[in-house]
Amino acid sequence: MSENWVFVCATSQLLPGETTVVWDGDTPILVLNYDGDFYALEDKCSHEDYELSAGTFDGEEATIECVLHGARFDVRDGRPLCAPAYEPVPKFPVRIDETGVWTRDDRN
């Protein structure tokens, strides 16, 4: 767990419908821009340990689909939307300031 925020990028570098991955220690964090709002999820499918960033981000539906087995998640809160995933993906805080987008693994 990090007490410090991790710099992601300038807001202009992550346009609506785009994603990027940053690391907070050993935790990969997928940062997504959905319609101008930024969200951060652990870059790991809750069904099987596989990178969500390899999947398809639907910038109109606010979903990301895992390419391994087709599980889909709401990027706004990490909740699963279909089988085979039943557990949510951990969501992380996002902070925006004049320098850009920041996130961190805030789990205890």
pLDDT at 2: 59
How far CA 29 is from CA of 63, 83, in Å, comes to 16, 22
The DSSP result for 21-84, as a single string, is: EEEETTEEEEEEEETTEEEEEESS-SSSS--GGGSEEETTTTEEE-TTT--EEETTT--B-STT
**Per-residue pLDDT tens over the stretch 4-53:** 999 999 999 999 999 999 999 999 999 999 999 999 999 999 999 999 99
pLDDT at 66: 97
pLDDT at 108: 72
